[in-house]
Every structure is written in C-alpha cells, then in structure tokens.
Amino acid sequence: EVQLVESGGGLVQPGGSLRLSCAASGFIFSGSDMNWVRQSPGKGLEWISFIDKNADKKYYADSVKGRFTISRDNTKNSLYLQMNNLGAEDTAIYYCGRGPAGWQDHWGQGTLVTVSS
C-alpha cells in the first residue's frame, strides 16, 4: 500500500523557517517523481513544487520561488521542503504527492503550517 506521511509543520513567526518532510513507503520511491501542494484554510489547492526521481529537475510556483527548496533522499525514501522567509500567505496544509507535476495519484494526510506572531 502506498503511504506518504508528512511531518514538520507547526507554528512559526513571520520571517521564520521550517523544513517539512514526507516519508514514503509501499512503492519504489527512487523511481517516482514527487510534488508539494498546499491548501490554505478553507481555500483551494495550489501546486508549489516538483522534483523528478533523480532530483535533476526542480520546479517552483512563482509564489514560493527563491524562498522554498525541494529536495529528496532516495536512500531514506524521503522528500523535503525547506521553507524560508515565511509569511502569513504561506499558512496552509502542505501535502506531498506522488506523480508528475501535472497530477498526483497518491497524497499524504498533510501537515499544517501556521505563520503568525
């Protein structure tokens, strides 16, 4: 069974940093492209980043470019999102998703990031 488990969310002050993790199991992680998608409370979905299976290609939404960095460790079956210079607009549930950037066939349960003073 495919499982994706996010962690690392929490309350952070404006301007602060957080590192999210996504632990994968039940599939060949090293053979899978991965994404981060977020959802602000009561709002819609927003794709924010993609990384291919070898970490050769990385893409970001304009809203996070220059502040967020996606990475992965295929030896640990883990995906990461380093988030810097966080603002209130970054408050959201962050999901990791397996698949190409265009669609994700499996999602984790999400981790909540709250940016507030």
Partner 1 sequence: QSALTQPASVSGSPGQSITISCTGTSRDIGAYNYVAWYQQHPGKVPKLMIFDVSNRPSGVSTRFSGSKSGYTASLTISGLQAEDEADYYCSSYTSTSTLVVFGGGTKLTVL
Stretch of 10-18, 68-76, 78-86, 108-116 contacting partner 1, by CB under 8 A: 108-116
**Cβ distance to partner 1 smaller for residue 38 or 72:** 38
Site for partner 1 in 39-98 (CB under 8 A): 44-47, 50, 59-63, 65, 95
Q: Which amino acid belongs to residue 3?
A: Q
Q: Mark the segment that binds partner 1 (CB under 8 A) among 8-16, 68-76, 83-91, 103-111.
A: 103-111
Told to check if 103 binds partner 1 by CB under 8 A, we report: yes
- At 35, the amino acid letter reads N
Q: Is 105 in the site for partner 1 (CB under 8 A)?
A: yes
Residue 27 contacts partner 1 per CB under 8 A:
no
Q: Which amino acid is at 108?
A: G
Binding residues vs partner 1 (CB under 8 A): 37, 44-47, 50, 59-63, 65, 95, 99, 101-105, 107-110
